[in-house]
């Protein structure tokens, strides 16, 4: 969600991603996308652990 909000100008990592895309800074775009992917995977892992502990 924060990535989408940033892409429309609300700030956060999406804003940095948008700025990097605008200047065609592909190494920085790649790094940001990898960081977003890692954050999503980590949060999903934590969520699965919590769900497993509750169930």
Report the C-alpha gap between 6 and 12 in whole angstroms. 5
Report the C-alpha gap between 29 and 33 in whole angstroms. 6
Q: How much is the pLDDT for 13?
A: 84
pTM: 0.74
| Per-residue pLDDT tens digits for 13-46 | 888 898 999 999 999 999 999 998 998 899 999 9
Report the C-alpha gap between 24 and 18 in whole angstroms. 10
Q: How much is the pLDDT for 9?
A: 64
Q: How much is the pLDDT for 54?
A: 92
């Amino acid at each position: 969600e924060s990535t989408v909000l940033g892409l429309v100008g609300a700030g956060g990592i999406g804003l940095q991603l948008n700025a990097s895309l605008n200047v065609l800074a592909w190494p920085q775009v790649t790094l940001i996308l990898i960081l977003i992917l890692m954050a999503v995977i980590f949060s999903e892992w934590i969520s699965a652990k919590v769900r497993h502990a509750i169930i």
